[in-house]
Structure 1
Amino acid sequence: MTYISLVIIGFLIGVLVLSTGGGGAAMYLGVLTTFFHLSTPVAVATSIFTAFPSLVVGAIGHYRNHNIRFKIGNRMLISAVPATIIGSLLSPYIPKKIYTWIVAVIFILLGIQIFIQIFSPNKSKKHSKYDNLKATMFGIISGLMVGVAGLSGGGPILAGLLLLNLDMVRAVATSAYILVGTSGVGLIFHLNNNINWSIGFSLMVGAILGALVAPKLLAKVDPIKFTTYVKPALAVLIIFMGIKMVI
């Protein structure tokens, strides 16, 4: 696959995930393992390396649009960052086969989670005394996903923010801010793995370009309708990648 193709793939993923509250590491990890057949540890390190700069660029764009809610974001970071550190410390001791299965199962569960959100949306907007606890748990799950599996953890973070009754635009923006923190910590711990620099840089260039476009895209389109159309395709793709890894 040519470097131009890699830049285009990175751009499309960057626009897609930063417009819908993700970080992109799951998508990059799926591409790296499914189409480039990189080993899981190398793909994990490369995916975080690819996603992190685009998350920073995207978060800056959302900050300029005044959509980040720092109070809620910092609350979730408090639980997500320690979980990322713990997961990163445990990941080198997990056998490659088990590691691959963990990543595959997380992919499949993420896809199923998206379908559940589509067909059984939570219509309740009332605050619950358990909201903070739920947000903390989603932060922990996200951190473990980053540390152990090299995913960005955007799915549980976005779900937690929506549980706290943020609207879609502000949930997406705050998610990008949180993921900068967790992915940055995860990248530090995964740098000891062998990053595929040529593939990683090409994807990263495209991802950064996509991150520059995403905040502007959210300002011009209805993010709820956009997410409604994108989510089913994204769920199918993530589940496919998870199954492909273990067959």
Structure 2
Amino acid sequence: MQLVEISLVMILLGLLLGFVGAGGSGFIIAILTVVFGYPIHTALGTALAAMFFSSFSGSVSHYREGNMVFKTGIVVGAAGALGAWFSSGWSSLIPEDKLGWMTSGMLFASGLALWFRLAFMRNKAAQTGKPVIVPTWGYWINAVIVGGVTGALSGLFGIGSTPFIQLGLMLLLGLPMRYAAGTTMLVIIPIALAGGAGYFTMGFLDVPLLIAVVVGTMSGSYVGAKFTKRVPAVWLKTCMVITPMIGATILLL
């Protein structure tokens, strides 16, 4: 019965996440721990694994639309998978109460990073041409750094690190916002897969719970996405920034 309730709540959450175009792992963690009483390590593993499904469908769409730099995404994603795999093991060493505070702090930081991206990266957003990639050693080293750092954050705290990945792609690799957004969806796939597998090997991934979360969020997201183009842009940007912060606030309750 509780899994049915979780799935229904996730449908409502999916409406919001589909509207703002977010993976919402932090919000999922907050709901599972505060509302339904799941241990935070289990919530982290479930939320991280759930991102695989939403990111896969989003990645296919961005690839078809030509919004992706495929080779860059593969390299960043591979480095991110390694970071997520190792850091998911470190998560088990952190006490639950401290991990909750740390995850909440990362969600607040995620909201601030997203605000920074929206407020100060307008020049990147205005670029529409496909970026010309110069395959230098420096470029690929930066790609590995972006992937390794953001993957470690995802594995340790169960969050998608989407704003951090996008900022890394724009600031260190020079991708316009459109391509940063599309490439980020590809990057998250191996990160979510490796991080989820790491939590599974430690017994922190509840498969029936994962199914309930995925069914709910994907159903709600499909409907919520239809409202994205139907509201003023300022409302959308505001919701994008405050969504992770609301999740962080719930997690502190």
Shift of 1:152: 1.7
Given the alignment, which residue of 149, 156, 167 partners 1:148? 156
Q: Matched residues in 2 for 1:9 and 1:54: separation?
A: 16
213 and 62 in structure 1: CA distance in 2 versus 1, 3 angstrom threshold:
farther
Asked whether 1:177 is paired with 2:186, we answer: yes
The answer on whether the counterparts of 1:88 and 1:190 sit within 8 Å (CA) in structure 2 is: yes
Specify whether residues 25 and 157 from structure 1 end up closer, same or farther in structure 2 by C-alpha distance, changes over 3 A only.
Answer: same
Q: 1:186, CA displacement in angstroms?
A: 0.5
Q: TM-score, normalised by structure 2?
A: 0.76
1:197-217 CA-to-partner distances (Å, cap 9, x unmatched) read: 555323311333466679x96
Q: 1, 11, 14: which one pairs with 1:11?
A: 14
1:83 CA drift (Å): 1.3
Match of 1:204 in 2: 214
Pairwise CA RMSD of aligned residues? 3.5
Partner of 2:146: 138
Once residues 243 and 11 of structure 1 are traced to their aligned partners in structure 2, the CA distance between those partners, rounded to angstroms, is: 18
Asked if 1:161 is matched to 2:169, the reply is: yes
TM-score, with structure 1 as normaliser: 0.78
Query: Percent of pairs identical after alignment?
Result: 19
Looking at structure 2, the residues matched to 200 and 80 of structure 1 have their Cα atoms a distance apart, in angstroms, of: 22
User: Mind listing any 5+ residue stretches in structure 1 that lack a counterpart?
Assistant: none
* Cα distance in 1 for residues equivalent to 2:120 and 2:67: 27
Quote the offset at 1:114 in angstroms: 2.2
User: Contact between 1:14 and 1:54, CA under 8 Å: does it hold in 2?
Assistant: no
1:229 deviation in Å? 3.8
The equivalent of 1:189 in structure 2 is 198
Q: For 1:93, what is the secondary structure of its paired residue?
A: coil
Alpha-carbon deviation of 1:185? 0.3
Q: 1:7 to 1:181 in 2, by over 3 A?
A: same
* Cα pair distance change 1:112/1:103, threshold 3 Å: same
Is 1:84 aligned to 2:84, yes or no?
yes
Task: Answer yes or no: is 1:242 the counterpart of 2:252.
Answer: no
> Which structure 2 residue ranges, 5 or more long, are not aligned?
none
